[in-house]
Structure 1
Amino acid sequence: MDFTGKKILITGSGAVGGLSHVTAKLIAARGGDVLITGRDQEAGDAALRELIDASASARFVRADLGTVSGVRALADEAGDVDVLIDNAGLVPFGATETQDEEAYDAAFAVNVRATFFLTAHLIPGMKARGGGSVVNISSTASSRGPPELAVYGATKAALESLTRTWAVEWASDNIRVNAVLPGPMTTTKTVAALGPDVGGMGKTTALARASDPLEVAEVVAFVASDQASYVTGAVVAADGGRTAI
């Protein structure tokens, strides 16, 4: 998986120990020029320092993807990219009857609208350079129907639908579009919130464990890379068999 000479934009990657940060570190180690983003400048600076310390070619851009203007600003700042990994997202918990409009709108704004318009802004550049790769990060919530995640699951189902449509729409332009569906992971944030066993969620998988984020990042990197040249329109599960149960 050689990313030498390629520019990669990874949204929602401005926190050390998250899936996108681990993916950024992996891709940078394989020659990619990585642009990471997040809403928190301090956290983003820390994530960038770790990448730079690992001799990565990387920079951080603070981005608010909750507004269309913020999405456009990020697209302008990023310029031409060869690979776009859409991972920024909000996870509103709550029973359907208690879900408020503000949380609902915010989740769809960041998880769906931002992905839609950021991708739309960057596709013309990919077309002009003869191709590219888009990877949307989904979730098992898109199909399993976990309680109190109705809004989040709906946003991820929308992303999977966009993945299939875009794969067909841009196939003739040599632009591949796929989604990766992670299972429970021991990210820094998840472990801090739920403990080292991530609330027992690993036991809900066929492998009966949560993954290290690097295990999923390897799949994201493969799907994004030229090695996956015949893969498009796919939702690739890296979930320990959770969706098979």
Structure 2
Amino acid sequence: MSERLRNKTALVTGSTSNIGQAIAEAFAAEGAHVIVSGRNRERGAQVVERIRASGGRADFLAADLDGSAENSQDLADRARETLGGRIDILVNNAGIYPAPATTATDEKTFDEVYAVNVKAPFFLTAAVAPAMTESGGGVIINLGSWIARLGIPLGALYSSTKGAMETLTRAWAAEFGPMGIRVNAVSPGVVLSPAAEDGEPHPGEVMMKGTPAGEVGTPDAIAHAVVWLASDEAAFVHGTVVDVDGGRTGVAVIAA
């Protein structure tokens, strides 16, 4: 690796598996000291062990980002302390994906999904941004989703939360940009899940038919884009949502 994030510090939420894990490992490979965070201590310890075994720097902090400002502030404080006083990069990745039909969604589920997917990153960003500004600036990267812009029959609740995060990306870029904080987002497409990596057919394969890629993506593909946005190579990029979706939302391949 080129160590594009050498001497940087990073907090990646929901990084004990899948996309978040790939981002944490990619950051560490590029020289960053990474906080791996999530609810599962065992998985978190395994990710940290993998990073350290490869020569990287990482620590695990258990966190239940339930949407409360208190829990978001607590994670920000503990991460800052563990990282030596500053957080240079924040990746708001943690999220949950209940996808019932609208008519089957109860109020408890609605509130829980918005709490985890929108309120938690909102208050975590609010907790991290002031110290970022004091230390000279930083980078915030949100995770959107392809179904925020391409409607599918199920997933209205989840997709609306990701639409909110893409809107917050632009709003935060305007709010925090003058303070030295770049804010952008990555919108993943259909991504290979850990269960599917064992050779089982991925349920999203059908969704990628007719796209340029023609197949589902991998967590590493998302991580590469996040690394770029976090690096100085993207210094002139503000308020942008980068689609990493195999062309799902923007291109149709018509077979002859």
TM-score, structure 2 as length reference: 0.90
Task: Supply the distance in 2 between the matched residues of 1:58 and 1:170 (Cα, whole angstroms).
Answer: 27
- 1:53 equivalent in alignment to 2:53: yes
Matched, 1:230 2:236: yes
Q: 1:105 to 1:193 in 2, by over 3 A?
A: farther
Match of 2:95 in 1: 89
Match of 1:110 in 2: 116
Question: How large is the RMSD of aligned CA atoms in angstroms?
Answer: 1.7
Deviations 1:132-155 (A, max 9, x none): 100001001111111220110000
Shift in alpha-carbon separation, 1:193–1:150, aligned structure 2, 3 A: farther
Q: Give the structure 1 partner of residue 12 of structure 2.
A: 10
Contact persistence 1:205–1:239 (CA under 8 A): no
SS in 2 for 1:148: coil
**Which digits, 9 at most, give the CA deviation of each residue in 1:48-97, with x for residues without a partner?**
21112111100111100014122121111111200001100010111100
8 Å contact kept, 2:95–2:117: yes
* SS state at 1:73 partner: helix
Q: CA deviation at 1:212?
A: 2.1
**Distance in structure 2 (CA, Å) of the matches to 1:115 and 1:194:** 33
Which residue among 160, 169, 175 is the counterpart of 1:163?
A: 169
Maintained 8 Å contact 1:71/1:117: yes
Q: Could you tell me how far 1:216 is from its partner in structure 2?
A: 1.6
Superposition deviation, residue 121 in structure 1: 0.4
Deviation, structure 1 residue 129: 1.3
Q: Alpha carbons of 1:183 and 1:204: their partners in 2 closer, same or farther (altered >3 Å)?
A: farther
Greater CA drift, 38-47 or 147-156: 38-47
Compare CA radii of gyration and give the structure with the larger one.
Answer: 2
Count of paired positions: 243
Deviates more, 1:199-208 or 1:157-166: 199-208
Q: CA deviation at 1:101?
A: 1.3
Cα deviation for residue 131 of structure 1 reads 0.9
Cross-structure match for 2:22: 22
Shift of 1:225: 1.1
Q: Output the CA distance in 2 between the equivalents of 1:38 and 1:51.
A: 16
Partner Cα distance (1:73, 1:154) in 2: 27
Cα distance in 2 for residues equivalent to 1:46 and 1:203: 35
Partner of 1:212: 218
The counterpart of 1:152, out of the listed 152, 158, 163, is 158
Asked if 2 retains the 8 angstrom alpha-carbon contact of 1:14 and 1:40, the reply is yes
Q: Give the letter aligned to residue 170 of structure 1.
A: F
Which residue does the alignment assign to 2:83?
none
Q: Which whole-Å CA distance do the structure 1 matches of 2:227 and 2:243 have between them?
A: 14
**TM-score with structure 1 length normalisation?**
0.94
C-alpha separation between the residues in 2 aligned to 1:12 and 1:238? Answer: 19
Task: State the identity %.
Answer: 38
